[in-house]
Amino acid sequence: MPVSLDTIVSLCKRRGFVFPGSEIYGGLANSWDYGPLGHLLKQNIKNAWWKFFVQEREDMVPLDAAIIMNPRVWEASGHLENFSDELVECKKCHHRFRIDHLLEAKGITPKYDKEQVKVPAEVTCPDCDGKLTEPKAFNLMLKTFLGTTEDSSTTVYLRPETAGSMFINFKNIQSVTRRRLPFGIAQIGKCFRNEITTGNFIFRTREFEIAEFEYFIHPNDWEKVFEMWLGEIKRWWRDIMQVDMDNLVWHEIPDGERAHYSKRTVDVEYKYPFGVKELHGIAYRTDFDLSRHEKVSGQDLHYTDPETNEKFLPHVIEPSFGIDRMLLVALLEAYYEEDAPTSEEGETEKRVVMKFPKHLAPYQVAVLPLSKKEELAKVSKPLAQELRQHFMVDYDETQSIGKRYRRQDEIGTPYCITVDFDSLEDKKVTVRDRDTMKQERIAIKNVVEYLKDKYNN
């Protein structure tokens, strides 16, 4: 049976993946803090993404740009004018909702047009059944002020996506790296949106991370490059994130529902416990962004092909990924409940095991001395320290060994190393595999190599 979101939320809190934000002050609506394990898992997902989409390719360069940019960036990109959701307000309780979400909940799938949408009579307030106002646009950018006065000349915005900074740095980057088309600029960073309807844990929050790249191409090449990136993205989900591909939905956005500048967009959706919803997307954005920045900044952003001397504005394919949504998917995919044998002959008990792909697991190995006794610590502590040079290591000497195995299963540690009293004699330890629960005696001097082999296969 698929895991419920509540089960994941409670495991995350209990084990230290994700905590409610500002909890000791009563929390802050839909803000979440990644605890020790959540941080490690997130970091591993970001590193894997970076390795796959940037490091292993010859056609990608990195960027780490400012979160706060000149507001004219958002004027050029259209965010100031158009980055809004259509909101309705209940005339009775004054709660506000996104009209597209209310329509979706009633199974009404409109050809959504912001100017013309009318609230059907059967759509009422989900909280008190009151009548709703007509929709009004609400800009999602989070404003703040630079300097000491709060007037409009100091208003700036926290970026709602990282893309803008890649377009405005295109010229700089292309000239210093002497890149020829096609090439991409990649970035991972925090983004902010004043979402009206948040919820479903870390699925939609106001502060989140995006990993995305702008891949600059000659306009004639867009169809084949789009296909190439779709293939790579499939490889990412199958081989690196190792998700069940049946849980993904490749949603080709039809004509009339795409952004006006996009000639092709595919939303990659996931079958979450709360429904099939967007995970991330890939869009062909034509030369919309560079042409807008050229117009608003007055700078020439054209590219000249060194072989043909053709001068043109590059077109762009943009794959964009939400890190927090990828982490949510990693948690949902990893969760298993199984019957596991206890120390009593023939008896079993339920074990919860997070079967993360090994390279994503927060800890790669746990060192568990059988008891707290000094003589065992003399072996287990130096072993843990040696392992730390190569792996993220957890060290746990409290509670029974059975309970410690269960804990490591629940946080997804692929290997546990037990140091027992025999270890003092035979200089060997027991290595237990998370998924098969099989145990092997390995010589202490070979443990690092043994684990390196496991991680390289």
Task: Note the residues at the interface with ligand GAP (CB under 6 A).
Answer: 161, 163, 193, 195, 204-205, 208, 210, 212, 278, 280-281, 318, 320-322, 324-325
Q: Tell me the residue type at 182.
A: P
Q: Considering only CA atoms, which of 210, 164, 213 is closest in space to residue 317? A: 213
Question: Nearest distance from residue 33's CB to ligand GAP, in Å?
Answer: 15
Question: Nearest distance from residue 324's CB to ligand GAP, in Å?
Answer: 5
**DSSP letters for 189-207:** EEEE---SS-BTTTTB-SE
Question: Nearest distance from residue 340's CB to ligand GAP, in Å?
Answer: 35
Question: How far are the Cα atoms of 219, 364, 374, 422, 429 from residue 444, in angstroms, in the given order?
Answer: 59, 17, 18, 12, 6
Question: Nearest distance from residue 31's CB to ligand GAP, in Å?
Answer: 11
β-strand partners of 366: 394, 416
Question: How far are the Cα atoms of 11, 357, 390, 420, 437 from residue 48, in angstroms, in the given order?
Answer: 24, 11, 17, 35, 26
The dihedral sign for the CA sequence 203, 204, 208, 211: positive
Instruction: Kindly state the tokens that stand for 387.
Output: 């392992």
Burial of 258 (0-12, 13-18, 19+ CB in 10 A): middle
SS3 call for 147: coil
Question: Nearest distance from residue 323's CB to ligand GAP, in Å?
Answer: 8
Instruction: Kindly state the tokens that stand for 299.
Output: 């700078």
Question: Nearest distance from residue 267's CB to ligand GAP, in Å?
Answer: 8
Question: Nearest distance from residue 210's CB to ligand GAP, in Å?
Answer: 5
Query: What is the number of the residue whose Cβ is closest to ligand GAP?
Result: 322
Q: Which is nearer to ligand GAP, 207 or 397 (CB)?
A: 207
Contact 42, 50 (CB under 8 A): no
Question: Nearest distance from residue 418's CB to ligand GAP, in Å?
Answer: 40
Q: Which is nearer to ligand GAP, 12 or 387 (CB)?
A: 12
CA distance 416 to 430: 8
CA distance 359 to 330: 12
**DSSP letters for 318-360:** EEEEEHHHHHHHHHHHHEEEEEEE-SSTT-EEEEEEE---GGG
Q: Which is nearer to ligand GAP, 107 or 254 (CB)?
A: 254
